[in-house]
């Protein structure tokens, strides 16, 4: 298969047309993610300090959960930063995959912290451990609820304004995370009412939430590294290219490198087509595929002569 090289990105055959307001919307999304991560970081660190003061494992788990979410946002940012660097001779596809590499590290840290929170909870449950400064602990859990709710509302408002499905899904995640903080709160209220086991039981429940984050991060990274892609993307690209006049049959492949979606189309065209006509057809195909698959960042076009 031969490739036609563009000037900036050797893997891209054609410069793809910029989408409407793309830069401005991306800036707004970035700001929403950054402000939310900062808010969650403050919430998580405060909870962590209160967890150490009170000995509450429910709060400990909730703090770890919030800080895990912050670290995944940080990885996304690192990915954006590194993927903006151009390709070099040694890294002809740029550094898109740095995000996936960092994702492996984050997954390991999340699973280790889940194990730590789970271990501390079970140990406290067995030892009938005490929880001190109960009202400060309760204030910490309330902070967790308020922090996550505030972040959820903010992300939802921005997500609706710029119509970002990712941000809206992220808002739902933060809304659910307020439930995790509510679990820590319930445990501490039980302790205040004389039920010592309330806090460690809450700690175990909150550990489940951390495992859920770990599972999501791990499957996401493994899928990306194994070049998995939504089959609908391939089908849509094949349909868009296959319908063009002059194309007899089109075969498409697609994969993500970091946040960049690369689509390759191999097209069997009428054998009489000149190189110039094939090139023009490729440009039309790039636009047609972009129409159907707005996420595509790189488009590679190869033509083959269809049997006469």
Q: Which stretch binds Zn ion (CB under 5 A): 82-90, 94-102, 150-158, 174-182?
A: 174-182
CA distance 108 to 83: 23
Burial (CB count within 10 angstroms: exposed 0-12, middle 13-18, buried 19+), residue 134: middle
Q: Which stretch binds Zn ion (CB under 5 A): 62-70, 77-85, 243-251, 273-281?
A: 62-70
Q: Which is nearer to Zn ion, 72 or 131 (CB)?
A: 72
Residue-wise over 226-253: b if at least 16 C-beta within 10 A, else e?
eeebeeebbebbbebbbeeebbeebbbb
Q: Which is nearer to Zn ion, 133 or 212 (CB)?
A: 212
Least CB distance to Zn ion at residue 268 (A): 48
Paired tokens of 105: 């590290």
Q: Are 143 and 46 in contact (CB under 8 A)?
A: yes
Least CB distance to Zn ion at residue 210 (A): 8
CA distance 42 to 194: 30
Least CB distance to Zn ion at residue 114 (A): 12
Q: Are 279 and 4 in contact (CB under 8 A)?
A: yes
Least CB distance to Zn ion at residue 74 (A): 14
Q: Does 62 bind Zn ion (CB under 5 A)?
A: no
Q: Which is nearer to Zn ion, 69 or 96 (CB)?
A: 69
Q: Does 170 bind Zn ion (CB under 5 A)?
A: no
Q: Which stretch binds Zn ion (CB under 5 A): 16-24, 61-69, 187-195, 226-234?
A: 61-69
Q: Does 69 bind Zn ion (CB under 5 A)?
A: yes
Paired tokens of 210: 């951390």
Q: Does 177 bind Zn ion (CB under 5 A)?
A: yes
Burial (CB count within 10 angstroms: exposed 0-12, middle 13-18, buried 19+), residue 268: middle
Q: Which is nearer to Zn ion, 208 or 235 (CB)?
A: 208
CA distance 43 to 37: 10
Least CB distance to Zn ion at residue 131 (A): 24
SS3 of residue 257 by DSSP: strand
Per-position x/- string for 25-44, each x denoting binding to Zn ion as judged by CB under 5 A, each - no binding: --------------------
Q: Which is nearer to Zn ion, 212 or 270 (CB)?
A: 212
Q: How many residues bind Zn ion (CB under 5 A)?
A: 2
Q: Which is nearer to Zn ion, 85 or 172 (CB)?
A: 172
CA distance 219 to 229: 13
Q: Which stretch binds Zn ion (CB under 5 A): 24-32, 42-50, 177-185, 231-239?
A: 177-185
Q: Does 100 bind Zn ion (CB under 5 A)?
A: no
Q: Which is nearer to Zn ion, 152 or 190 (CB)?
A: 152
Q: Which is nearer to Zn ion, 47 or 96 (CB)?
A: 47
Least CB distance to Zn ion at residue 65 (A): 6
Q: Could you tell me the CA-to-CA distances from 228 to 101, 219, 237, 258 in Å, in that order?
A: 16, 11, 16, 12
Least CB distance to Zn ion at residue 180 (A): 7
CA distance 197 to 186: 11
Q: Which is nearer to Zn ion, 196 or 212 (CB)?
A: 212
For the chain, the maximum distance between any two Cα atoms, rounded to a whole number of angstroms, is: 86
- Interface residues toward Zn ion, by CB under 5 A: 69, 177
């Amino acid at each position: 298969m031969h490739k036609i090289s563009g000037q900036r990105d050797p893997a891209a055959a054609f410069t793809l047309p910029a989408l409407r307001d793309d830069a401005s919307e991306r800036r707004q999304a970035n700001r929403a993610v950054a402000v939310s991560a900062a808010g969650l970081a403050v919430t998580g660190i405060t909870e962590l300090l209160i967890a150490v003061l009170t000995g509450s494992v429910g709060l400990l788990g909730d703090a770890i959960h919030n800080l895990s979410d912050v670290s995944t946002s940080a990885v996304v940012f690192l990915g954006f930063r590194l993927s903006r660097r151009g390709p070099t001779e040694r890294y002809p596809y740029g550094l898109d995959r740095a995000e996936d590499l960092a994702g492996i590290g984050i997954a390991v840290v999340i699973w280790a912290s889940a194990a730590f929170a789970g271990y501390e909870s079970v140990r406290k449950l067995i030892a009938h451990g005490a929880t001190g400064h109960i009202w400060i602990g309760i204030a910490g859990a309330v902070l967790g609820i308020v922090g996550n709710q505030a972040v959820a509302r903010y992300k939802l408002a921005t997500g609706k304004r710029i119509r970002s499905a990712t941000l809206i899904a992220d808002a739902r995640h933060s809304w659910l995370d307020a439930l995790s903080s509510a679990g820590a709160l319930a445990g501490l209220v039980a302790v205040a009412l004389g039920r010592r086991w309330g806090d460690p039981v809450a700690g175990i429940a909150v550990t489940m939430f951390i495992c859920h984050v770990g599972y999501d991060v791990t499957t996401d990274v493994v899928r990306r590294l194994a070049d998995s892609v939504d089959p609908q993307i391939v089908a849509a690209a094949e349909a868009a290219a296959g319908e063009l006049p002059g194309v007899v049959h089109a075969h498409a492949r697609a994969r993500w490198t970091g946040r960049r979606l690369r689509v390759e189309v191999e097209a069997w065209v009428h054998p009489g087509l000149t190189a110039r006509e094939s090139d023009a057809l490729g440009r039309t195909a790039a636009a047609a595929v972009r129409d159907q698959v707005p996420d595509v960042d790189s488009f590679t076009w190869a033509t083959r002569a269809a049997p006469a």
